[in-house]
Structure 1
Amino acid sequence: MALKLLSPLRVGKVDAANRVFMAPCTRLRADLDQTPTPIMAEYYAQRAGAGIIITEGVNPSPLGRGEHNQPAMYTDAHEVGWAPVTDAVHRAGGRIFAQLMHVGRITFPELLPGAANPVAPSAVRPDPGFRGYSIRCPRHDRPFPTPDALDSAGVAREIDHFVEATTRAIRAGFDGVEIHAAGGYLPMQFLSSATNLRTDSYGGSIENRSRFLMEVIEGAGERVGAERIAVKLSPGFYFNDVHDDDSTALYSYVCQRLSGIGLAFVEVSDYRGRHSEDGIDPIGLVRRNYDGVVVANGGFDQDSAEELLQSGAADAVSFGGSFIANPDLPKRFETGAPLNAPVRSTYYTSPTGHFEVGYTDYPALSATP
């Protein structure tokens, strides 16, 4: 039986050569001013065999930064810095989407302009004692401050930053963008009842709490076309102390709203059941309520991914650690070659201080004895 993982897939206006997508993976190899570095072009080009590469989280706003060396897309320098990355991927035959990630309250003043306080839908501080699933990369050993609640002008400003970052991304050569509405970051903070206590049109009902995300998508789609826009969701997971009173109702509504827009895809994380606090089936929920391409993410290997695709539960699968350690992952799946093991200690930094260690030095098959 032919592997469905290796079959082509039409995604918006992009023809993906296979259904082995590269998941967004924070790597922190940009300059301190958030401009991409030359080695990032090498890294992503090495992985151009993916059906679609989804980049690490790219900060769309001066107030959206969560880490040192996180790349961004809100200045001319950022836009220019990304062009060699997309060019390198395209020259290698690949397709690449930029994931736009605004961390909202999950940051510290020293990472923001003028040591500004973090912003969020409401002034709700992440629980210092939270022991659920956190995706801080790397994890911080101190509590986050209480964020400032965005006023109406601030909400409009951050939506505009997403839209402008989308425009810049397409100008920089990206095939599309993915709006990161998972991970406990700003769009998810608006979606979730525990972090959105607003009483205006962006808070209260599920419809109102979804408004921020929908206005980002609609604004971005008006600029570049909905077929260039993707969304990442994580129903039922408590990321960074962000959760909802009724995840099934919330995400059913969101996915129904996303249906019919003509998006490129929805990526949904399920983490193979390891962290599903709400006890729901995230992939099944999205598949039932969304009428487009579904990309599953979270702890899959080749066999479990192939089984999922053959069942019809998803159309593609995104791989994180496997793609970090195996730049030619689809070829390894095709040939049955063994996989390199990822070195987690180099995910976000290199012990030697050299960006290439644990980044561009994983061997491809041609370099493997």
Structure 2
Amino acid sequence: MSKLFEPTTIGSISVANHIAMAPLTRNRSPGAIPNDLNVEYYRQRATAGLIVSEGTAITHQAQGYADVPGLYKPEAIEGWKRVTDAVHAAGGKIVTQLWHVGRISHTSLQPDGGKPVAPSAIAAKSKTYVLNEDGTGAFVETSEPRALDLAEIPALIEDYRKAARSAIEAGFDGVEIHAANGYLLEQFMRSNSNHRDDQYGGPIENRIRLTLEVVAAVTAEIGADKTGIRISPTTPANDVSDPDPKALYTALVEGLAEYSLAFIHVIEGATGGPRDVLPFDWAALKAAYREAGGKAVWMVNNGYDRQSAIDAVESGYADVVAFGRPFISNPDLVRRLKEDASWNELDGATLYGGGAEGYTTYPTLG
């Protein structure tokens, strides 16, 4: 049997295989509170070695899409506890993705209808998902953000720390810090969205500062062995760009090497799109991390199939392979990979919002 299907450890988390379920926004948690449908959805997919939950807002201000879950209400923590209990009862392991969307939001989703926050007051050429008055969902242009004041940043870091503690209280095995896909932490890192002239803007060491400070706060609170981070060095998602992603992300992973993280989750290429959107040496990024002393599990993601996943793990190119959309339509994806069985086709019309259809209704083998 391939190493892909053998047990391993991710930080202090013992897992059944080298396959992860990537975070997937599904917009099925009204009021930011996980419900019965969410419990069943995650339970069905518990054969993944590690589930990374959908992005979970660390505060109300961090919300960017309608009906996505949070970690800032007691009812949400209780709802997540039911999810984690179900996953654990089915033999799985699950971490939550700590999410602050920054400028990828809309005033209708913000506290008191305020502006979303960002490193700089630069609107993203992007869209977000809101609810119409009749309850149907729609994609709309993101709202113009305001720049975070320097005095607000310590409280923002504290929000991440509190959310990490809440995740452990909710029964999660750990957390993944979302520093990818054009959301707040990546907005600070990328030069087109960060025009600050203080210690969080300008040169690379300043632009990666907030991400490293969040990592320091979270690892101090729950342990580095329960903490991962997701990065996307070349994605153009949500209107982020940088002229030198190699220098930026090499500096970032060298900084991350100071922490004994559980995993680094790398999106290779455009999120959910082409892997070659920009030239980038993915093996060199991992090598730079290892040379700096980093020992975290190296998790890769984007466009992997059965054979490329097997090859990545067998060769040592990666330690774990994450699959995203294939897990939506194939709750038993691990079995299908193991048996080289066909995959269910994804129904794109049911991706965002709605009920059980296209969420918990995909068939398993047999």
TM range (shorter): over 0.9
Q: CA deviation at 1:145?
A: 2.9
| Equivalent position of 2:23 in the other structure | 24
Deviations 1:314-366 (A, max 9, x none): 1111111111111111112222222211211111123xxxx11111111122x
Alignment RMSD (CA, Å): 1.9
| Equivalent position of 2:8 in the other structure | 9
TM-score norm. by structure 1 comes to 0.91
Which segment drifts farther, 190-199 or 89-98? 190-199
| Equivalent position of 1:358 in the other structure | 358
Deviations 1:279-318 (A, max 9, x none): 1134542343243211111111111111222221111111
Amino acid at match of 2:15: A
Structure 1 residue 154 corresponds to structure 2 residue 152? yes
Q: CA deviation at 1:227?
A: 0.8
| Equivalent position of 1:326 in the other structure | 330
Amino acid at match of 2:279: G
| Equivalent position of 2:286 in the other structure | 286
| Equivalent position of 1:124 in the other structure | 122
Identity of aligned residues (%): 40
1:287–1:15 CA distance, 2 compared to 1 (3 A): farther
* SS of residue in 2 equivalent to 1:331: helix
| Equivalent position of 2:102 in the other structure | 104
| Equivalent position of 1:131 in the other structure | none
Residues 18-57 of structure 1 mapped to structure 2, 5 A cutoff: 18-31=17-30, 33-57=31-55
Residues 189-268 of structure 1 mapped to structure 2, 5 A cutoff: 189-268=187-266
* Matches of 1:40 and 1:247, distance apart in 2: 36
1:48–1:287 CA distance, 2 compared to 1 (3 A): farther
* Corresponding pairs, count: 354
1:175–1:212 CA distance, 2 compared to 1 (3 A): same
Amino acid at match of 2:12: K
Q: CA deviation at 1:141?
A: 5.4
* Matches of 1:276 and 1:101, distance apart in 2: 26
* Matches of 1:330 and 1:238, distance apart in 2: 30
* Matches of 1:334 and 1:13, distance apart in 2: 25
Which residues of structure 2 form unaligned runs of 5+? 131-136
Which residues of structure 1 form unaligned runs of 5+? 129-133
Residue among 297, 301, 318 paired with 1:297: 301
* SS of residue in 2 equivalent to 1:248: helix
Residue among 84, 87, 94 paired with 1:86: 84
Deviations 1:115-147 (A, max 9, x none): 01010011112247xxxxx8x569975433321
Which segment drifts farther, 291-300 or 329-338? 329-338
1:332–1:228 CA distance, 2 compared to 1 (3 A): same
Q: CA deviation at 1:153?
A: 2.5
Amino acid at match of 2:65: E
Q: CA deviation at 1:174?
A: 0.2
* Matches of 1:59 and 1:140, distance apart in 2: 20
Q: CA deviation at 1:70?
A: 0.4
Deviations 1:174-193 (A, max 9, x none): 00000110010000001111
Which segment drifts farther, 285-294 or 218-227? 285-294
* Matches of 1:287 and 1:323, distance apart in 2: 29
1:251–1:239 CA distance, 2 compared to 1 (3 A): same
